[in-house]
Structure 1
Amino acid sequence: MSYPNADKTIELIKELVEIPSPSGNTDEVISFVEGVLRDLQVGTKRNRKGGLIATIPGKDSDQHRMLTAHVDTLGAIVKEVKASGRLKLDLIGGFKYNSIEGEYCQIETTAGEKYSGTILMHQTSVHVYKNAGKAERNQDNMEIRIDEKVHSADEVRALGIEVGDFVSFNPRAEVLANGYIKSRHLDDKASVGILLQLIKQVKEESVELPYTTHFLISNNEEIGYGGNSNITPETVEYLAVDMGAMGDGQSTDEYTVSICVKDASGPYHYGLRKHLVQLARENEVNYKLDIYPYYGSDASAAIRAGHDIVHGLVGPGIDSSHAFERTHRSSIEETTKLLYHYLQSELV
């Protein structure tokens, strides 16, 4: 049995993370995914929120499946153009200021101009500020230093930069020879890459899926409502493919597929969870069951929106989520294997 080529998946993930796509400004990356699917002759449509839905007809068109992964990422938005010529930020998504200190970034103006910058503490220089190491990392103290000759708000505005402009973070993606992949935004572009490679295999090998299957590439997950709509009435099962969270007390690691039992929204569907575990055992897929205490997914958003569906959550294990993320080729492979068998399995 052959599975999608992991090297190709990782190449695709690297391409994806290098496309800026903070929640609210995702058209470029959605267009990229749209192009990949067009080349595969997979029918797609955009929803009004800007997400992308791909559909592969199955043997049974009366009952549907939906899988989702999201291309929107953490980011920021310009809150204030400061008199000093620097920018104050407002965060997009759930993360802390300390995780972006010193990061290179890109500011995109409404007109589409792009400028380089660095996110710094105002009190960075230890030769000037006695409290450089003790000052709180917060909105008041952190700012963007623009890589242009600007020393006033008027000079910044002359560049076209204004309140509301989007800020994306340099992913600094690296693929190491020993199998590790480290980059910002592996949440959740690793999963998007996996789904696209699975769709490619299904199309190229003419695999007949048992049920009509929709793939939602959502674009507002980081702010809570990416996958809560455009679910057909025929949809029975809804599986979010998103990162597995690692840390103290967690069983998730960077080498297996994580199957989520419960997150902040409550338990996931017990029957679907057992089905996923059974598929993993039958097909020698290495997996871990886990609980993510401060987490919500597109699947939980769909449940909250009132959809009558069976919902689940799986994904590759990601270390240091919403910060300096890392996973391993093994986790990409195990997640791919589980999803390959899930797509061809019976409904629970």
Structure 2
Amino acid sequence: MSRLPIDHEYLLSMLDELLKIPSPTGYTDPIVRFVTRELERLGLEVELTRRGAIRAIRPGAETRGARAIVSHLDTLGAQVKRLKENGRLELVPIGHWSARFAEGARAAVFAEKGGYRGTILPLKASGHTFNDEVDTLPVGWDYVEFRIDAMARTKDDIQRLGIEIGDIVAVDPQPEFLDNGFIVSRHLDNKAGVAVMLAALKALQGEEAETPVDTHWLFTIAEEVGVGASSALTQDIASMIAVDNGTSAPGQNSEEFGVTIAMADQTGPFDYHLTKKLVALCQEDEIRYQKDIFRYYRSDSASAIEAGHDVRTALITFGVDASHGYERIHTHALRSLAELVTAYVTSPVMIKRDFEETSSVTGFTRQPTDEAAQKLTPGIKDEALSK
């Protein structure tokens, strides 16, 4: 079966709803409940890990050699580091992002007694007071503070509000959906990936598409701090594709259109055979694609491999301009990704050996190096093939 038609309006409406739900790492319960309800509405049974990672299995012809599609629900954010004597809050970031993008952001701090709105400001925010010093203040988390929109002029006032060290701060996404298909918002990483997965699943359910093996739809809750899919996989899963953002920036080959297939990230190359299959599917189904390598990037797949899971992994991405800042994407990439997911999960299993966790060399995969070795001189060929 080739790619399936994607409900474009559903994809965008899901993204809009997801962006409305604050979900910095450590504060993901609300979005877990929302996605769980949507998966159940689409007809899947859902199970949660202790901390809230989501697993929903769409049955296929075989349980062995299952495939997994994964995105993360958590986003960047901040946490209260200190209650300051001036009635404001010192912050530390959740995830890796620059305080340059925090300056001026509207946000909410979640205290035990309830949430409070506020703004993240540089320490010297008023030009009428500090003159040119507003432009010479260094950039960094030591140079910003959270101004609470409540009566908070002293540390005692903050304590009376019930705000404590460790409370989570969620930054407003401020989304804009433009008529030309561009979407600008914070936290498109990875609310857009979640919307892509839900749209692909809706297409599969609507077409009653059959798949050769079970498909595990996984949604993790701590990717931004490196935990990712480390504890979400089961032994049935033989291959896993992460859906996340790719960086469209100078020196990168990612684009805001089509699918960007990652060939490697900072943890090394992705699975040769799985990545090659994704490229072939794009070519067969005429899905626009490009390849890229990310030197300062890791995804759910990296944490799964580091946790000891013996699975093939790949990463497909939507190009994002200004990742971890005011991000911009295009709907063309989201639709292309959803189409590729449907084409992949309905495609035949090519490596039947993956049905078993271990087996003999019979049926083991081959790479072009064997062919290249045939062209070497006899002595070198024998040495190369013996390694």
- TM-score when scaled to structure 2? 0.88
SS of 1:31's partner is helix
Structure 1 residue 2: Cα displacement: 4.6
Structure 2 counterpart of 1:68, one-letter code: V
Structure 1 unaligned blocks of 5 or more: none
1:115 aligns with 2:112: no
How far apart are the structure 2 equivalents of 1:228 and 1:346? 27
Indicate the residue corresponding to 1:5 in structure 2. 7
Indicate the residue corresponding to 2:247 in structure 1. 245
Structure 2 counterpart of 1:83, one-letter code: E
1:95-143 deviation line (CA, Å, top 9, x unaligned): 11101110000111134x1111000001111122242111112232200
1:40 aligns with 2:42: yes
How far apart are the structure 2 equivalents of 1:346 and 1:207? 13
How far apart are the structure 2 equivalents of 1:161 and 1:199? 40
Structure 1 residue 230: Cα displacement: 3.0
SS of 2:189's partner is helix
Structure 1 residue 237: Cα displacement: 0.5
Counterpart among 52, 58, 61 of residue 60 in structure 2: 58
How far apart are the structure 2 equivalents of 1:274 and 1:177? 35
1:236-270 deviation line (CA, Å, top 9, x unaligned): 10111111111111111111111000110000011
Structure 2 counterpart of 1:293, one-letter code: R
CA contact (8 A) 1:6 1:332 kept: no
Indicate the residue corresponding to 2:206 in structure 1. 204
1:294 aligns with 2:267: no
Indicate the residue corresponding to 2:375 in structure 1. none
Larger radius of gyration: 2
CA contact (8 A) 1:260 1:312 kept: yes
SS of 1:242's partner is strand
SS of 1:20's partner is coil
Indicate the residue corresponding to 1:127 in structure 2. 128
Indicate the residue corresponding to 1:174 in structure 2. 176
1:224 aligns with 2:259: no
Structure 2 counterpart of 1:102, one-letter code: G
CA contact (8 A) 1:75 1:91 kept: yes
How far apart are the structure 2 equivalents of 1:7 and 1:230? 30
How far apart are the structure 1 equivalents of 2:286 and 2:143? 50
Counterparts of 1:1-348 in structure 2, within 5 Å, are 2-111=4-113, 113-129=114-130, 130-348=132-350
- TM-score when scaled to structure 1? 0.97
Structure 1 residue 204: Cα displacement: 2.6
Structure 2 unaligned blocks of 5 or more: 351-387
Structure 1 residue 281: Cα displacement: 0.3
How far apart are the structure 2 equivalents of 1:316 and 1:44? 26
SS of 2:136's partner is coil
Structure 2 counterpart of 1:128, one-letter code: T
RMSD: 1.1
Structure 2 counterpart of 1:18, one-letter code: K
CA contact (8 A) 2:274 2:314 kept: yes
CA contact (8 A) 1:4 1:198 kept: yes
Structure 1 counterpart of 2:11, one-letter code: T
1:268-305 deviation line (CA, Å, top 9, x unaligned): 01111110000000000001100011000111111111
Structure 2 counterpart of 1:313, one-letter code: L
1:292-345 deviation line (CA, Å, top 9, x unaligned): 110001111111111111110002111110000010111111111111101111
1:47-97 deviation line (CA, Å, top 9, x unaligned): 123111111111111221111000100000011110100000010001111
How far apart are the structure 1 equivalents of 2:22 and 2:173? 9
Report the identity percentage: 37
CA contact (8 A) 1:251 1:288 kept: yes
What is the number of equivalent residue pairs in this alignment? 347
How far apart are the structure 1 equivalents of 2:7 and 2:125? 45
SS of 1:251's partner is coil
How far apart are the structure 2 equivalents of 1:309 and 1:155? 52
How far apart are the structure 2 equivalents of 1:132 and 1:117? 20
Structure 2 counterpart of 1:176, one-letter code: L
SS of 1:97's partner is coil
CA contact (8 A) 1:9 1:197 kept: yes
Worse overlay, 118-127 or 275-284: 118-127
The structure where helix makes up a greater share of residues is 2
